[in-house]
Every structure is written in C-alpha cells, then in structure tokens.
Chain A
Amino acid sequence: MSRIRANTATALLARGEPMVWLSGGGLVVALLMVAGLVGFVFWQGLTTFWPGPVLQIQTRDGNVVLGEVTRQESFRPEPGMAELQEKSAARALKEELAGGAGRLERRLIRTGNYELTGEHFQWVEQFRIPMGGQTTPPWALVLERTAWGRFYGELVAYVVDDSILSTDSESAWALFRKNHDGAEDPLPEGHALRLRISTGVTHDVPLQDIVRAYAPNQLGLGGKIGVYFGRWFEFLTAEPREANSEGGVWPALFGTVIMTLGMTILVVPFGVMAALYLREYAQGGLMISMVRIAINNLAGVPSIVFGVFGLGFFSYIIGGSIDAIFFADKLPNPTFGTGGIMWASLTLALMTLPVVIVTTEEALAAVPNSMREGSYACGASKWQTIWRVVLPRSLPGIMTGAILAMARGAGEVAPLMLVGAVKLAPELPVDGVFPFVHPERSFMHLGFHIFDLGFQSQNSEAAKPMVFTTTMLLMGIILFLNGAAIYFRSHLTRKFTGSKF
C-alpha cells in the first residue's frame, strides 16, 4: 500500500505537477502584490479630483461645520468621553457605543478657511449630529485659491469695491461666471465674492485670489466631470501652489522626463562601449574578471552614495572648475558648481551603468559566433563586424538594458535630493530663453515631489491625495517610456528576424 502511494508521489513529481503549482502560485502572489499596489495607487489617484458634496453640519452643541468629507473612520473613545457631553449627545454616544462594540464613527471634514479658523480640517463624531443636522446647502461654494488653501462658504453676493452688485445668489454666481471664468487675464480688480461662512458671518474673497469656484451641491454629472477634468488639466499643466499641496506638477513632470531622457542618452553609449570592450576586445583573464566583479558590485551600492559622489565630484569639483573658468564674474554664486539637471542625469547614468553593461554583454554573448565568422570570412575587419553585424543583432537586448535603466532611474529619489532636485524650481531646465537648454538649473522631480508632499508638507491631510495622483503620474510616465522603448524594440526584432513566410 505504502509502496503504491510512494509511486504515485514520484509519478506526480515526475509529471512536474507540484512544480507547476508552486511556480504558478509564486506568479499569482507576485501578481496580487503588484495588482494590489497599482490598484490602490490608481484608485486613490483617480478619485482625488472628483468633486464631492459640501455638507453643512449643525452639531448638538450648536456648532456649524461646512466642508467636504475627506475620510471616515471608527475609533475607540477615551473612557470619560460621555461625561463631558451634554445630555442628548451623551445618550447618542452611549447608544452608538453599545451598537458598535465600543467604537465610534467620525468623519474628517475639510473646512478650509485657514486664515479665519487656523485649521484646514475638523473631526466630527457621528453622535454629535442630531437628526436633520446635516444639510447640503445649494449655494455652498468651494473656492480653490492662490493662497491659504480652500475656502468654503455660502454665496451671498457679488461685490465690487464694497458695493453689492447682485441681489441674490443666482445673479451673484452669474456675475462671477462672467467676470472670472469668462474674463481674460488679468482678473478685474476690486471684485469679490461675498460668502457666508459656517459661523454665520460673511467674508469677501477677491476674484483675483480664486483659481476655481464651483457649487458642488448643484452640479450635475456633466458639471462634476467638467470639474474633474479641469482639475486634471490644471494638475498636469500648472505650476504648484501652496507649498506644492495644490495646483499642478508640470515642472516636476517636465523635469522627470528631461532628466530621465538625459540619463538614458548618457548611459547607453557608455554602457554599450564598455560592454563591447569587455566582450569583443578584452582577452579575458584576471583583470577583466575583476572589472566584471566591480561592475556588478557597483549595482549594489546604495543610491544615496551615488548622490554623494555626484555632489562631490560632478557638482563641486567639475562644476566648481567650470564656474572658476567661465562664470568667474558670478562667483561666489555657483552656476554649475551646485546641483543641476545635468549633474543629476550624470549621477543616475553612473548608477544605472551596471545594468546597461550587464544586459549589453549578455546580448553580445547571444550573437552566434557563426555570424561573426561569416563576416570575417567576407573580409570584414573587427570593427566592421561589430558595427554591421554584432551590434544590429544585439540591439533588442541593448534596448532591454536601456529600458531597465530608464525604469530604475525614473523612480529614483534619494541621490537626486543631493544633486539638484528641489521642492520648487523657479524655472524649467528647457525654455524659450537663450540658450534654451539650461543644464545647470535645478529642477523638480515627481519622485522628490512625492516625498515632499507626503513627509514635508505642513498641510499633510490636503497633500495626501496629491501623493497618490503624483505617484500615479510617475508610474504612468515610466509605463509610457517603457512602452515606447518596448514598441521600438519589438519593431527592431521584427525587422531583424523578419516575418515568417
């Protein structure tokens, strides 16, 4: 009996079924992790710009909160919390506690109006809200402003130099649409929207401070879609505002693409030349083995070390020398002698060099020797053979190396912080000012932008959704760059292997 069972087990192993399941399982786990991460980022990133309703909440103790719900959670209250509440609230609290296994619900409301309240957000526990305490006022407006964050209030009037131009909310809104959305730059001076905020007082917001205003509670689906894409458009094309937590990421997007392309353009020729020497010219031996080991170890050096090297060598030594020779009149202000997009590209090129060398070497090794012999037999020199036969044949493999390098480089942040990525760059590295390309300029980078939003921002609650949209954008860019390279590679492969007849 046991014999038979043992035989079945061997047969199973022989058929390879367990290995199929094991490897398949590994794939599934990997896929789930990737799908989970990407799905999470995309879900959060895609929903950030969707306009939610503005709630007006009157709590049992008479406070009024006006704003948008950002998130919801359940929490365990402090033991003495019920005693601190007035009677009706205490009863609601106890009921909720009893029904919810000792936990309470609360929502984080984005209330804005920072210059008046000193807060951007406010927690509102569910038990504080009496029946009918939550309304959606039709004329509640969301104002995105150039400074101080969002403003929430009910539209009361349209004011020009302290005289009221409208008699009701509707005509005030129409005037706003005409003078703000329909107007050309610059926006009219002295015009303002008068809004009643949650405390009941009114406040005037000058038109010039307003980037976008909308009344979410009145918006239909079309209107919401309009706001959604309007915000995306702003996100992709505008400069950041409010310490990067509002506005767009255009400079960072641009900086990332330029830096990555620059890096690729620098790393591929050097990597390919190095690999060519190692594979085609070098005679082997101890020296070459040591060079190979060194290259492979280079791939394991922490990226921040490359940043330190880039700062010390490229910026200070090379950049400093350039400054001393060509820009002496500007000293002590550095021109090249500090972080800049060229130094960042060079640093990342150095960091990704091992990837390109190793993949290129593999691609070269995969070129059949018979092809080289065929070329030599035709009377070709070594260089002609490499240039006309070996390189074309290994081009798809070299492209793979470039793709890997690009993916690694585009997502790198740590070394960039040392060699030129900044929180806010005043100018793009490529613009219309002579000489058009400014390799010495510092730049913004999406990866650094994410770090800055997520961990350096003062208004971190407001910045958090931007972290996801920015991450999504960075992933999108890498996907796009890789997609382009892969398309190019498959095009090449098809060209070289030809179609089957």
Chain B
Amino acid sequence: MTANEAKETQMAETKTMDRLASIAAGEIVETRIHPELAEEESILDISDFNLWYGEKQALFDVSMTLPRGKVTALIGPSGCGKSTLLRSVNRMNDLIDTVRIDGSMNLGEGNIYGPGVDVIELRRRMGMVFQKSNPFPMSIFDNVTYPLQINGERNKSVLRDVCEKALRGAALWDEVSDRLQESALGMSGGQQQRLCIARAIAAEPEVLLMDEPCSALDPIATTRVEELILSLRGEYTVLIVTHNMQQASRVSDYTAFMYLGQVLEYGPTARMFTNPLLQETEDYITGRFG
C-alpha cells in the first residue's frame, strides 16, 4: 500500500466516522436506493415510516419497497431497528401499548395501517418466524396446522397434507413424521425453530417475515433452512433479518442496510456486498464496525 493510498483510506474512514456520528446525533439521511429496484414489481410499499416506543424513536423515515417474489435481507448492527421494522409489517407492534407510528405501509393496494383494516386478516396473509422459537403447548401436528385450524379448517386430510408439506419444507419431516401427536415442547431447540418455520409457511402466506431464523440452528439445519428460503423464492416474498453476512449473500436477492433506525442503503445483494454506494455499508459488511 502506498503512502497515498493509505492516506486516502484513512480520510475515507474519518469521513465515515463523521457521518455515523452525525446520524447518531439525529441527522436524517436520504436512503441510497439502487436503480435496479425500480424495475421490480413491488408487493410492499413502505413510505416515510416512523415508529416510537414511548418517547424513544426507533425508526426514522423508512422508505423502501419489497420486490414481489424476491428475498430481501435486513442487515445492520444490533439494536438498529431490524426487528422493529419487521414487526411493523404485520402490525405485531400493536401488541405493545407504548408504540406510536407515523407514515404508511401498503400491501398490494391497501394501507396496512389504514382505518378499518382487519389486523387478523392481515396477519393471516403473512407468516412470521421469531428470533426465539415459540412453539405452542400442543402436539407437533396441531402446532403446524394452527394457522389453518384457527381459520376454521377442520378437514383432517387437508390438515394432514398441509402438515406434511410444511414439515418437509422446513426440513423436519424425516425427524418427526412418526411422532406428530407428541408435544412440540419436547423437541430440541433447533427442531422447535424449524417447527416454527413450518408453522409460518403452512398457510402459504404472501409475505414471509423471518427474524434471524437460523440463530439457534446447527450448520446442517441452517443449510436446510437456507435451501428452503431459496426454494420459496419466486412463489413467496421473503423479508429476512440476519446477522450472518454470508447467509445474507447466499439467500437474498436484495439487501437493506440499517443503522440507528434508518435505512442507509438498499440494493441488489451482489452490488451491496461487492460495490456498495456507501463507505459505511462496506465497512459494516467487512466487519470494520458494528
């Protein structure tokens, strides 16, 4: 490295540090959106979305579109609001009394936060996998078919087919096919997480929201889940939060980089990982901060 190059890097770093500091101080920056996204058909339109937990603001003017049938990854340092954004999509934040929002999210034509929206109906159109697995205190079979059962589906053969399909999708079928009637709480942690994935895809949702689905899984199960996500591409729209950069690059078509409640950059994963528009994105992806 020549002295000149070294000096350039250093200068760039100082510049980044300055920008990060000013964001931390409250500056709202424009999201850098790559032009490729304009060509995609969008399924979810988020515009100027703000969210407060009580007095504390967690999301700042988030504007982005989710391309239909594509996998989008949300990356960013811990506490930057990835889960918050994900939970806003199916209005899980409604369950927290202190949450206040501003701005809009449109799923297809309708505003998710519009007046008179049937939240239950909305959530039925989405599947969600949580950061921590949360199987219900019932049999494996009932867990997987829960979204259909609460929707009034009683036909045993339909439920059985759905159960098998979902469990196969979550790479769990071979392990549990002979004990579907046993309690789900007796499974191992990784199995429980895959069960939750099976539950989320059982009702064939339009949008699948995944919050670090692989954080409790071993490498083999992780590979299986990644294969699952890849196989869902095209049919489903997936929004996935991950801390694992390799995973993001393996499974996602698009990646959004979040920092302190703002989306700084959003573009095709390949571009984001090799040639991002922002120095901050590169620094985060290469592990220089975060």
Contacts and interface: CB of A to CB of B under 8 A. Distances in A.
B120 interface: yes
A371 B134 contact: yes
Nearest to A395: B137
Interface in B122-176: 123-124, 126-128, 130, 132, 134-138, 146-147, 150-151
A378 interface: yes
A379 B183 contact: no
B74 interface: no
Interface string B184-195: 111110000000
Interface size class of A (residues with CB under 8 A): 20 to 34
Q: Lowest 6 A-B CB distances belong to which pairs?
A: A498-B186, A498-B183, A379-B124, A374-B134, A377-B128, A370-B134
A497 B134 contact: no
Given A370-B132, A498-B182, A499-B186, A388 B138 contact: yes
Given A379-B121, A392-B137, A496-B137, A374 B196 contact: yes
B123 A379 contact: yes
Given A283-B97, A377-B126, 20 more contacts: A372-B95, A373-B95, A374-B199, A375-B136, A377-B123, A377-B127, A378-B124, A380-B120, A380-B150, A384-B150, A388-B150, A389-B136, A389-B137, A392-B138, A393-B136, A496-B138, A498-B183, A498-B184, A498-B185, A501-B188
B139 to A, nearest CB: 9
11 contacts: A372-B95, A373-B92, A373-B134, A374-B130, A374-B199, A376-B123, A377-B92, A378-B150, A378-B199, A496-B138, A499-B186
B123 A378 contact: yes
A500 interface: yes
A385 to B, nearest CB: 9
A330 interface: no
A393 B137 contact: yes
Interface residues of B, number: 33
B146 A375 contact: yes
A495 interface: yes
B50 interface: no
Contacts of A381: 120, 150
A226 B40 CA distance: 93
Nearest to A396: B137
Interface in A373-417: 373-381, 384, 388-389, 392-393
B203 interface: yes
A373 B187 CA distance: 20
A496 B132 contact: no
A368 interface: yes
B187 A501 contact: yes
Interface of B: 90, 92, 95, 97, 120-121, 123-124, 126-128, 130, 132, 134-138, 146-147, 150-151, 182-188, 196, 199-200, 203
Contacts of B97: 283
A390 to B, nearest CB: 9
Nearest to B97: A283
A378 B162 CA distance: 15
A497 B120 contact: no
Nearest to A496: B137
A192 B127 CA distance: 88
B164 to A, nearest CB: 19
Contacts of A379: 120-121, 123-124, 147, 150-151, 203
A374 B136 contact: yes
Nearest to B196: A374
Nearest to A500: B186
Interface string A59-83: 0000000000000000000000000
Contacts of A372: 95
A375 B146 CA distance: 8
A371 B192 CA distance: 12
Interface core residue of A377, A381, A496 (most chain B CB under 10 Å)? A377
A492 to B, nearest CB: 10
Nearest to A392: B137
A377 B150 contact: no
